[in-house]
Amino acid sequence: MKRFNKLASLTAVALATATMAMSGGAQAQSDPLKVGFVYVGPIGDHGWSYEHNQGRLALEKEFGDKVQTTFVEKVPEGADAQRVINQLATSGHDLIFTTSFGYMNPTLRVAKNHPDVHFEHATGFKRDKNVATYSGRFYEGRHVAGLIAGKMTKTNTIGYVASFPIPEVIRGINAVAIAARSVNPDVKIKVVWVSSWFDPGKEADAAKTMIDQGVDIIMQHTDSPAPIQVAESRGVWAVGQASNMSAFGSKAHLTAIIDNWSPYYVARTKAVLDKTWDSTDTWGGFKSGMVQMAPYNEAIPADVVALAETARKGIIDGSVHPFAGPIKDQSGKIVVPAGEVASDGMLLGMDFYVEGVDGKIPN
């Protein structure tokens, strides 16, 4: 009953927001390019959806009245998403960014019926003639964060507030484990799944739980700043997710992995305006600026900052790879031999924990 009600209410919210956002500016003189955005969270989440919305604002700044943007926030993944995307497509949007993994199939289905509309789906792996995909190599940021965490932990336990067991999230956990253990072989990673991208209360409870179990660094792959705040009040370290979260815990905030979508959104919109848009697959990292690190906490010793910066520069020039062999899975079996690095295919389909991560992947 609770699930049904929640779903019903979310549907109504999504539809109401969609209608409101769309009635906003249907009439314009010079026929600007209409660009639509679908967000999974509220734009005020200070994380994932917030950064996508920053990208939308960058578009408006860059192109002025040549573009007109629309966004629909808090759209649940699944059937509702398809309705919202479809409504954007039928209301004259030429370019639609769907910014959550769960929008993958809805985006493809809508795209089939609207061959003239350009779709961009974030973090997915299925493309079509008019569906491009894009994502950030966030694991590069997690590698840097993992190095810092490995150096800073005193209890040798890092806690990870995780959302859903998809390759994207598992890859992040593994990147942290590999990096942290490369500087401190005794490190263990504890993972708690909260089965949500955004539930501040539950994220906070998960962080408290792990701190009670002896974790002294909290990392997260969920979108609210609540875990940072818990870390601050309990006097442990934390790493921010998606945007700079230091406002929520300036002492605890070691750094954050920042998603910077603006350059990509500007480039893709320009491509539609210039009629050079093509269905591509983009996976940008530090090098393209899609992934950035927030300023390091002043409490981090200079040699650790130097270590982190060396790794970041190494990733940019290609001399460092976060998934360089030898990499062992939990059973000790070598999955990436020494001298090799994990292929993008392996990274995209990652469904195993590496050595040093506690517990099993829920399946």
Binding-site ranges for another protein (CB under 8 A): 1-2, 5-6, 8-9, 12-13, 16-17, 41-46, 74, 159, 165, 190-196, 198-202, 204-206, 208-210, 212-213, 215, 224-226, 229-230, 233, 247-249, 358-360, 362-363
144 versus 192: smaller Cβ distance to another protein? 192
Instruction: Please state, in angstroms and rounded to a whole number, the distance separating the CA atoms of residues 101 and 41.
Output: 12
CB of 280 to another protein, least distance (A): 33
Q: Least separation, in Å, of the C-beta of 16 and another protein?
A: 6
Nearer to another protein, 1 or 302 (CB): 1
Degrees to nearest 5, angle at CA 342 with 192 and 363: 35
* 17/182 with CB nearer another protein: 17
Q: Tell me the closest approach of the beta carbon of residue 182 to another protein, in angstroms.
A: 22
Choice between 19 and 90, CB closer to another protein: 19
Closest approach, Cβ 25 to another protein, in A, equals: 19
CB of 267 to another protein, least distance (A): 29
Q: Under a CB-based contact definition with an 8 Å cutoff, are residues 37 and 99 in contact? A: yes
- Is the Cβ–Cβ distance between 232 and 248 less than 8 Å? yes
Locate tokens 């089939």: which residue?
Answer: 112
Concatenating the DSSP letter of every residue in 189-254 gives: EEEEE-S-S--HHHHHHHHHHHHHTT--EEEESSS-SHHHHHHHHHT-EEEEEES--GGG-TTTEE
Alpha-carbon distance of 278 to 132, in angstroms, equals 7
Residue 263: C-alpha distances to residues 52, 58, 270, 284, 294 (Å): 11, 8, 11, 11, 17
**Shortest CB 183 distance to another protein, Å:** 23
Q: Are residues 309 and 317 in contact, defined by beta-carbon separation less than 8 angstroms?
A: no
In whole angstroms, the minimum distance from the beta carbon of 154 to another protein comes to 18
Query: Which of 31, 212 has the CB closer to another protein?
Result: 212
Contact 69, 59 (CB under 8 A): yes
Q: Select 6 or 109, whichever has its Cβ closest to another protein.
A: 6
Q: How far is the CB of 321 from another protein (least distance, A)?
A: 28
Q: Please, what is the minimum distance in Å from the beta carbon of residue 1 to another protein?
A: 6
Measure the CA–CA gap between 173 and 139, rounded to whole angstroms: 8
Nearer to another protein, 176 or 191 (CB): 191
Q: How far apart are CA 38 and CA 24, in angstroms?
A: 16
- Cα separation values, 257 from 62, 176, 238, 273, 303, Å: 25, 12, 11, 31, 20
Distances (CA, A) of 45 to 52, 84, 240: 11, 20, 13
Closer of 47 and 285 to another protein (Cβ): 47
DSSP 297: P
Report the C-alpha dihedral over residues 152, 216, 247, 14, rounded to 10 degrees: 130
- Kindly tell me which of 4 and 303 has the beta carbon lying closer to another protein: 4
- ∠238-75-231 over CA atoms, to 5°? 10
Of 22 and 271, nearer to another protein (C-beta) is 22
Coil, strand or helix at 299: coil
Query: At closest approach, how far in Å is the CB of 359 from another protein?
Result: 4
